[in-house]
Structures are given as C-alpha cells and as structure tokens.
A and B are shown apart, each in its own frame.
Chain A
Amino acid sequence: MTVLRSALDVNGAEYAANRRIALDRLAALEAEHATAVGGGGPRYVERHRGRGKLLVRERIELLLDPDSPFLELSPLAGWGSEYPVGAGLVTGIGVIEGVECMITGNDPTVRGGATNPWTLRKALRADEIALANRLPLVNLVESGGADLPSQKEIFIPGGALFRDLTRLSAAGIPTVAVVFGNSTAGGAYVPGMSDHVVMVRGRSKVFLGGPPLVKMATGEESDDESLGGAEMHARTSGLADYFAVDEPDALRQARRVVARLCWRKAGPPVSPAPVRPPRYDEDELLGIVPEDLKAPFDPREVIARVVDGSDFDEFKPLYGPSLVTGWARVHGHPVGVLANAQGVLFSPESQKAAQFIQLANQRDIPLVFLHNTTGYMVGRQYEQGGIIKHGAMMINAVANSRVPHLSVLLGASYGAGHYGMCGRAFEPRFLFAWPSAKAAVMGPQQLAGVLSLVARQSAAARGKPYDEDADAAVRAAVEQQIEAESLPLFLSGRLYDDGVIDPRDTRTVLGLCLSAVHGAEVRGVRGGFGVFRM
C-alpha cells in the first residue's frame, strides 16, 4: 500500500482562512437546504399535518431502513427561479429492505405538490439515474398535477415521465407507486405505468377525470371515492395491488414489496476486506481550497482525506504533473482518480488522461474526476504542440468511456477543461459540487477582460476614442454577472449538478454513489473510442 503523506499545515493562517470561508459558504448552503425542507412554509405544513398526513420527508424516513444513509439529489432545484427551492419534489437514493432504490416523493405542502418546469427536470433526472444504475424506483405520489400557468414548459416534455416509467419496467427495473393523495388526470398514469401500486384507504384519489369533469362530459353524478378511491381500485378496477389502511401501513407494504423483489445488483460485489478510513481527518477538507481559485492547491490533500486508508497508487506521477491520476478504493470500491493539480491542462496531461481512461475501461474500474481546472493551455507554443489534438484525445476518451464516471467540482471548472474532466454534458453518473466550485466558459475576470479587449479593438478599428470609465463599469457588471452564474447554488438550481455537498461528506457521497452505480453492470469499452488524432 502507498499511503499519501499530507503536507497540509493545519495550524497555518492560510488553512484557517480557507476554513473560515468554507464554513461561511456551508452555512449559506444549509440555509438553502432548510428552505427546501421547509416545503410550502409553516402554514401549509400545519394544514397538511392537520389532515393527519405525514410530510414527504417523514414518509421517506419511514420507508428507509433504520439507520441507513440517504442521499438527497438536486435539493436546490429551482434555486434562483420564480419557483420554490426544491421544486416541490424530493428525490434521492436510499436503502429499503437492503435494496438501494431511487425514491421520489411529491411535497404536497408546496402548491399542492404541483409539477413546475424544475420539478419535471428533477424528476426526469431521477429517472435517468434509476435507469443508468438499475435502481428500483419508488414514487411517493401526492400531486395536484401540472402547475397550469407554466404548462407550456411542462406539457410536451412531461410525457417523458410516463415514458420513463414503462421503459424502466421494460428494462426489468421495478417501479413502485405509493399513492397518498391526488394522482389525477395525467398523474393517474404514474400508478398506471408502475409495476406495483399501493393505495391508502380514504386518501388515494386516482382518476382521469374528477366529478365536475365527468358531470360536464357525460352528465353522470359521481364522487371521488367511486371514481378513484383506494377501496374501489383495490376491489373493482384492480389498479391498486395493495390496500393500506393508513400512511404508515402503506409505507410498510411498500417495504414488503421491495423485500419481495429479491433484487440483485448487476455489478460486481464490493470487496469483503475491511474498509479502512482515510489516515487524515475529513474535517481538514475545509481548509484546502483557497478563496481565490487562481491559487492552485494539491488535490492529493483531498485524495488523502477521501480514499480508503489514504492509499493511492499514482499513475505517471512525473509525466504531465498538472493532472494527478492514480488508483485507489472508496468504501471498498476500486476507482481511478483524475484530479487537476495546477489548473491548466497541457498536452502531456491530456495524453496521460486519455491513456488512464483507456486503462480503466480495460479493467472495468469506475472513474472519479476531481475538478479544479481553468482549461487547456493557450499560446503559440501550445497550439503548435498540438494542444487541440491532445485535448480532443482526452475528450474523446471521456465521451466514449463506458465505466461509471463520478465528477466532483472542487474549485474551478472552466472552458473545455470542464468537458475533458467529464462535465455535465458528458453524462457522469453523478456530479456534485463543493461550495467553493465555479463553472463557466472562463473565469469572470478573464471573461470581462476579453470582452473589454474586443471592445477596445473595435473602437480602435473605428478610430473612436475608448471610454475608459464606461469600460470599467461594464467590466464590473459583466464580472459580477458571470461570477453569480458560475456559483454552485445557481448551477445546482438549474440541475447542472446533482447537489452541492459539504466537502467533508465527499467520501460518504462517493461511497454511496459507487455502490449505486454497481446496480448496473460495470463494464468498460474495449476499443470503441473515436479516432484518436495522434
């Protein structure tokens, strides 16, 4: 074993400053999470409880195995939009009867659990994760349907929700719907398309058209129970497979359904050897990333606090030293790690990455990308040295690799470097950001500077004098806008990651995701890459 040696000075001023800023950012993140947990606010929460109902997170807690972990995904969906943070839906990976499942649950305290555009994107992302990782899907349904004012953003793409349910089923991935309340009109197809359906006496309401609509359509007098009550669906229509007497009973029955799936993960089992924690304290992860991302940090300090036993066998340490590559285990799962060291990716780094990714595919080993990159190197020497070819090699390798990829944005993730390090568009199975991360086409200052240079050249070409004061104002405004739009809360709100995590949770989050990706077969591509431009 090769134990990393930490050079982090935990008593130094730099560490203290980094830690202070990290704690401030975590406090802000916690406040946003608390907003999401608060759902529709105290008034609606009280009203919901007053009806004798459980809150969505209470339902999830009862569904999960006691004392098991739960990773909530996209908790900040809708942040910065006109819709509430969290988008009225909770999604996440948890363990039910020893089976890792994708769990989704409407939050009926948020506008009746209605689906807005962010709710839809969040739900589709959960479906995507369930399909890619073969996670049984349990839907805790109580939704008033589409948020009508925003129907134009929902109606047409929203059909994918039903498509996904049946595609999951077709792929042999079980789907379970537990209906706690409204699931009407289009929503009725959620239980309709699920493999297993549990309904709650006196609570579930599943019909295509309610009494007023039926009255309008056919003149028939009816009521909720006869059109779509649990009793009716359990005894008459057969839509409900399981009849629960109350909410806890429904969750108990849902657990029994999962227990009877006899589910087996398709990936290789985790090594039975005891898992050693890192040699260094995870808490120290808060003191590594500087406030100013222009100052590089050694990603080995992060790796030493994330991987089992801080045991890391580095690949090509002397070649392309701006990218650290190597092998390790996280909670027993083998991984290949790619981590930016000096921010910039040069040709050797790109070639090294391409080779490393190919090796991981040959060995069926999942890859973890730790981002802190300003992108590929520019300049005459580098262009002439073939940086485009080599960057393309790396992106080719990442794009066509078939082993599971997990990305974590630690610091900067700018430019094509974001792509080469398996950014969102390259479909990593999971992507998380630290509160210190920033992602954009380039850094805000650089971007503002580029705009300013272009404007200055344009003015010069037209022979006009350049207004330096206006330039300074524009630069500041642009810089501020880009800065705001590079921040993790903003990007997370737009579903460009699966969540912003506490750096100290990185090992736990990676461990949980690595276990989840083993739900599907872990098999790298053999050949199968695009043409490598040499």
Chain B
Amino acid sequence: MAMISTLLVANRGEIARRITHTCRRLGVSTVAVHADPDADAAHVAEADAAVRLPGTALADTYLRVDALVGAALTAGADAVHPGYGFLAENAEFARAVIDAGLIWVGPAPDTMTAMAAKTEAKRIMAEAGVPVLDAVDPAAVPEGSWPLLVKAVAGGGGRGMRVVRTPDALPDALAAAGAEAEAAFGDPRVFCEPYVERARHVEVQILADTHGTVWALGERDCSLQRRHQKVLEETPAPGLSDEVRRRLHRAAVTAARATDYTGAGTVEFLLAPDGRFSFLEMNTRLQVEHPVTECVTGVDLVELQLLVAEGHALPPAPPAPRGCAVEVRLYAEDPARDWRPSPGVLHRLDVPGVTARFACAPGGTAAAGPDGLRLDAGVTDGETVGVSYDPLLAKVIAWAPTRDAAARRLAHALARARVHGPTTNRELLVRALRHPEFLAGRVDTGFLDRHHGTLTSRPAAEQEAERLSALAAALADAAANRAAAPVLGTLPGGWRNVPSAPAHKRYRSAATEHEVRYRLTRAGLAAEDHPSVRLLDLAPHRVVLESAGVRRAFEVTVHGEQVYVESSLGAVALTALPRFPDPEPPTTPGSLLAPMPGTVARVAAAPGDRVTAGQPLLWLEAMKMQHQINAPATGTVTEVLVRTGQQVDLGAPLAVVTPRDTAATPPPRGAAQDPATTAPRVPSPGHDRPAPPAEHSRAAHQEADT
C-alpha cells in the first residue's frame, strides 16, 4: 500500500486551493504549478512549493503534459491530482504520470479513454443496461426526431454544441459545431441526438475503491445552466420519487462497475419530466459541485480520492446524507449582457456568515454540522480575474435541514456579500434562489432562459435601492472630499453664503444613470429627488439615511471610479461618472469595438467585402467563451484592424463597416463610452435584448461541463 507524502496539484484557482486545504489537514505536502500570469495567485502562495510553467498559453502551461510530469518529479512529488478541467480527463496525462512512477489520483487511463469519447461511452453503457439516448444520423433524420442536439464527440463545456430545430439549419450547425470543436478540443467530430425539452440534469456521485466497493454517494441536480455551464447545483435533487432516486443510483453503480471504475467520478443523466432518464456521460474526475455532496454526507471527497489512490478500502456503505445543500457559482460575467465575461481586479470578496472555507466544518475536518455556509474562492482580494481562464470567482454553498432554509440562507448571504470588482452574476443567483418556481422545486435546464428577463431586470424595489445607494455614494464622496481637503477641511461641505445650484454628481449602474443633486444645509440634507430622506450620520465609508421612516446604514467602498454600496436593500455597484467628460479621440462611424477584452479567434472578413447586417465578421475568445462580432449594417468592410491570435482590450476598434446608405445609419454617438452601441450583439443597458444568435442559443442546455 502506497502512501502519498507530497502531492502535485496540476491545476489552478479554486480547485487547487481546495485540494491543498485537505492536504494540509492530512499532513500531505503540496506542490503547485503556475503559468506566468498566476505567479502571485493564491493557489501558489498556499502550497508548500510551486513550479513555474513558463508561458501564458494553456498549451504551454496547464495543458502541457511533459512540463507537469517534469514539475512533479523535480519537486519530489509522489502523486498527482489533476483537479477538474484542464487535463483532468486526459488519459494520456494519466498514463504519463503513471509511467513516471507517480500515483495518479483518478481512475485508470483506459477507463478515461473509454469515457472520453461520447459515442463509445454510450455504447458501453447501453451494453451494461444503462439507458441511453440513441444517436441520430444527421444524413437521415427521421420525421418527428426534431429538435436535435449537435454535440462534439470530444466535447465539454458546451463547446461544439448546437440545438437545431429545423432541417435547413442543420448543415450550418454541423459545420459551426465542428469548427468550434476542432478549435476547442482538436477533434472536429460531432454527432446528433434527440433534444429533450424541459429536461433536468441529474448526476450521481460515485466513489469506487480498488477492492470492489462502489458507492453511490447521493445525486445532484444541476439543471440551472447558462450556455451549457452549470450555475446552481443542489443535493438531493428536489421532487424525485424514492423509486426514481433508487433507479438512478443503481444505474450509476452499474455504470461504474461496467468500466471498472476507481476513485471519484460522476455519472450524468438527463431526466425527462416523466421520470425516464438516460445516460449522458461519465466524468472521470471530481466535479466542481462536489461540495454539496460533502456538506450533506460529511465526507471529504479529496481525502477519499487520496485514500483510494493509496489503495485503501472504502467502508462497505456510504454515510447517509442528511439535510439539503445548495451551491451557486459566482462568475465574473454579466448575465444581462449575454453572459459577457467581465474581467478585472477583484478588490474584495466577503461573504457574511461563512462558517467554513474549502470544507464543511471550521477546522477543516470532514464532519459537517446540521447547517452552515461554505466558501470556496479561487481568487483572493486584489487579484486580477484575467481573460485567459474560467470566470469562476467562487462557489458558495449553504446547507440546512431543509431545502428552503438552505436557499434562504444562501440568497441572504449572497445579497449581503461584498463583491467589489468585476460585474458578476450575483443578483441573478439571488433572484433565482428566491424565485417561486425554484423554491417549488420546478427546475429544468431551460429555467434560466425562461426566466432570463425577470432574473436580470431590476424590480421597482431594487430601483429605489439603487437611487438611495447613489445618494449614499454621493454623500460619502462628499465626506471623503472634506476629509481629504488640504484647506478648509473643517468647514461644512459645499457651504455657500449665496446658494445657486445644488451639488451634482452622476453615477451609472448596470441598468441606468443616476443623477444626484444635494445640498448639506444647516437643517440637514436637502436632496430635491429625495424629499423624505433624512441624513442621520455621514462618514467617508458609512452613510446612515432615513427614508420613509426606515433607518438604514449604507457601507460605501470606492475603488477608482467604481463605487460599491451595501445596505439592507442589497448591494449596488456604481460607476462614478467624471465631472468633465474626457475629450476622447473620435471613433470612425461604423467602427466595431471589442465588447470585452480577449483574443481574436477568427477573422472572416477582409477589406472590400460586401456584408449584410448581422453577418458575422470575427470572433473573440475570452474566459472560455466565444463571442461573435457581427456587421452592424449592410455595407462594405472598409478596414479590418486585427488579426487572428491578437489580444485586444475592451473598446479596441476591430473593424470598420461603411454602411451602404450612410444617411440611413446614424453614426454611433458616444461609441467610445459604450461599445455596446456599435457592437449590436451586446445590448445596451436598459434596452431590450436582441434575439441571441444561434451559436449562443441558451436553449441548448441539455448538457453541461464540470
């Protein structure tokens, strides 16, 4: 029986930190690896030792097998944990680790190979008696099989995946999915299967040792997805009959046995509204959402992975789960703007009421209490969320004896959290957790699409919260200005012996612009748009207002132009607009500006091309997402300013399209301030969302990665 003394964690971010956390408790030394942009990342600082993977590109760093194995050997590791994503399901990597004489924390490479090819995996499962969806031959789609789902054979993360509703759309979808799969996985093969409407994504956590014991450690419902990526996961899956649950668990154990599985893995099923389910795929690794299982069972899955890898036997039966756990993924992305990634500096992430980090109990021990709040953050305060990696900031998990209690606790913690930095999906998560349909347990993969409007729009109460928060921001700024004044700092702020106009500040929120007019008079606050608001206390970081008879404290934090206001009305992020608009270099009318920083993945237009409105011209890739830039109008491409592989900043000009009838297309006013106006794929705040183009259709949430 081997014993692991030093573990190389071949990953980064949240999962690397989480593995290190368990290792520290067990007394296992850890070795981190890092690409150059991650040199100062938390996962590096927290490990006992670290090895640099020179370079920035994934292929040179976290995806480079020889460098990772070399790092393990150099640092004296005796085992390698791949985490999830990157090379976690790469059999070649597993083999290289084993060939180097190291312990691979995961299943046998052959199992991984078998499960990696989706068509092969389905064949094995069908043979073992696990229900599967039959593939459809795209060349001969039977009547009544629509809609179809096109998927990449080597797929994952929703890439190379398309929902196709009509036969005429199929050829384009196959080509586009193939191209995307080729770019993402180096394998252009795709296949088709029936698309199940209103399906749920339910998966079973399995754990198997080398002595023949296979656990089905409860199931998870991961139906809330965006762009085929999971956003919210919970256990147990709500509303399952004991019979369905038993059958699911049994099917998962069958699947594990059919592949001689060892270690932790997940068998994913598609659950139709009628209770029938079919095998989707098997993830031969730890899942992102594994903490919900840990929080109800009290096990530490990483600890058990190491135990199995060392050759130990599991107890004969898994611990019985107790209570309910819900996890949300806090992403640096803007759900209202087509989930656009939002890179930047994370100044502060502080979730109130957290009882444990990277574990379910404060001491890091596995034993979880009957309720709690867990935070697994990949980014620490001050770190930059770059464009190179997944935009996951943190996972927040609440557990309690009931589902309602867990959801309420999680929603409250998120609503009151300080998330200072990139735009996040926090509000969407809070609204989803408080949505009556969610609370009734009616979840399916279409949930986020169906409710996208209500989940991303601000109800009236929140608009009022924003207005008051903007007022608090302006007043806190006044106090800060007074405190920092080199002269006359002790005089009353904004004092006038002959008053003419109130002080005037402007803030922009995600939804709208707020103009705050106020005067601080002898009698107190005079704000014309807030006649019933009284100012009770004022300091640079804390403002106490009484509005309609209710007293509330507003905490105000400023990072450059960004202002974050937290109160019992919720968290509001504002951008302070400058007093003097910077005279910007004028942008050529018809310019297409980058809606986000990223890398140019592909350019499909050349100067002189005649294009029609909405025609894709180029693609940007950032944070694992591809964004298509379309022609804003019918006309001629007069300039292409970027080439494939080029890094571009937010707002960088990409190309210029001169409309055929210039008079009919007014030049984009203020384009430099709001790139959205010239990149029509990205709606401006406050405007109706345009119909998402096919490649981003959020209907295709049949399957999700990690």
Contact = CB atoms under 8 A, between A and B. Distances in A.
Contacts of B477: 66-67
A252 B501 CA distance: 19
B485 A502 contact: no
B691 interface: no
B687 interface: no
A36 interface: yes
A100 interface: yes
Nearest to A62: B579
B95 to A, nearest CB: 64
A265 B581 CA distance: 31
Interface in A209-248: 245, 248
A515 B488 contact: yes
B478 A67 contact: yes
A483 interface: no
A252 B487 CA distance: 20
Contacts of A75: 497-498
B2 interface: no
A251 interface: yes
Given A67-B478, A249-B583, A331-B490, A58 B485 contact: no
Contacts of B500: 37, 55, 57-58, 61
A95 B498 contact: no
A334 interface: no
Q: How large is the interface on A (under 10, 10 to 19, 20 to 34, 35 or more residues)?
A: 35 or more
Interface stretch (A336-344, A361-369, A504-512): A504-512
A108 interface: no
Contacts of A55: 500
B140 interface: no
B317 interface: no
A94 to B, nearest CB: 9
A66 B485 contact: no
B491 A100 contact: no
Q: How large is the interface on B (under 10, 10 to 19, 20 to 34, 35 or more residues)?
A: 20 to 34
Given A62-B580, A65-B481, 5 more contacts: A57-B500, A61-B504, A66-B478, A68-B493, A504-B522
5 contacts: A37-B499, A245-B583, A249-B583, A501-B497, A508-B495
B497 A505 contact: yes
Nearest to A252: B580
Contacts of A504: 522
B585 interface: no
A67 B486 CA distance: 13
Contact of B491 (A36, A499, A502, A511): A511
Given A58-B501, A98-B486, A283-B522, A68 B580 contact: no
Nearest to B475: A67
Contacts of A71: 497
Contacts of A249: 580, 583
Contacts of B498: 33, 36-37, 72, 75
A77 B495 CA distance: 21
Interface of B: 477-478, 481-482, 485-488, 490-501, 503-505, 522, 579-581, 583
Contact of A70 (B481, B490, B495, B579): B495
A275 interface: yes
Q: Which residue, of A65, A66, A98, has the highest number of chain B Cβ atoms within 10 A?
A: A66
Contacts of A252: 579-580
A251 B580 contact: yes
A332 interface: yes
Name the 9 nearest CB pairs between A and B, nearest first: A69-B495, A252-B580, A57-B500, A98-B486, A67-B478, A67-B481, A72-B498, A275-B490, A67-B493
Interface string A501-529: 11011001101100100000000000000
Given A66-B481, A71-B497, A511 B580 contact: no
A36 B500 CA distance: 10
Contacts, number: 94
B492 A508 contact: yes
A58 B482 CA distance: 21
Contacts of A265: 487
Interface string A49-85: 0000001011001100111111110010000000000
A504 B497 CA distance: 11
Contacts of A499: 497
A248 B481 contact: no
B424 to A, nearest CB: 29
B497 A67 contact: no
Given A62-B579, A65-B481, A69-B495, A95 B501 contact: no
Contacts of B504: 61
Nearest to A500: B497
Main secondary structure of the interface of B (DSSP, over half): loop
B482 A67 contact: yes
Contacts of B501: 57-58, 61
A249 B481 CA distance: 22
A41 to B, nearest CB: 15
A505 to B, nearest CB: 6
A508 B579 contact: no
Interface string A468-508: 00000000000000000000000000000001011011001
A131 B289 CA distance: 72
A520 to B, nearest CB: 14
Contact of B581 (A248, A331, A505, A515): A248
B557 to A, nearest CB: 18
Contacts of B581: 248
Given A36-B498, A331-B490, A68 B485 contact: yes
Contacts of A67: 477-478, 481-482, 493-494, 503
B497 A65 contact: no
A85 B166 CA distance: 78
Given A61-B500, A61-B501, A283-B522, A69 B488 contact: yes
A332 B580 CA distance: 34
B496 A72 contact: yes
B488 A511 contact: yes
Given A33-B498, A72-B497, A66 B503 contact: yes
Contacts of B491: 69, 331, 508, 511-512
Contacts of B499: 37
B485 A511 contact: no
A265 B499 CA distance: 28
A283 B477 CA distance: 27
Contacts of B522: 282-283, 504
A48 to B, nearest CB: 14
Given A66-B505, A98-B485, A283-B522, A511 B497 contact: no
Contacts of A58: 500-501
Nearest to A514: B488
B670 to A, nearest CB: 15
A504 B492 CA distance: 12
Q: Which residue, of B478, B496, B579, has the highest number of chain A Cβ atoms within 10 A?
A: B496
Contacts of B493: 67-69
A68 B579 CA distance: 15
B14 to A, nearest CB: 40
A409 to B, nearest CB: 16
Nearest to B480: A67
A435 B583 CA distance: 46
B481 A68 contact: yes
B503 A512 contact: no
A511 B490 contact: yes
Nearest to B484: A98
A2 to B, nearest CB: 21
Nearest to A99: B487
Nearest to B486: A98
A475 B69 CA distance: 112
A529 B478 CA distance: 47
Contacts of A509: 497
A309 to B, nearest CB: 12
A332 B487 CA distance: 12
A185 to B, nearest CB: 30
B490 A332 contact: yes
A72 B501 CA distance: 14
A62 B505 CA distance: 11
Contacts of A98: 485-487
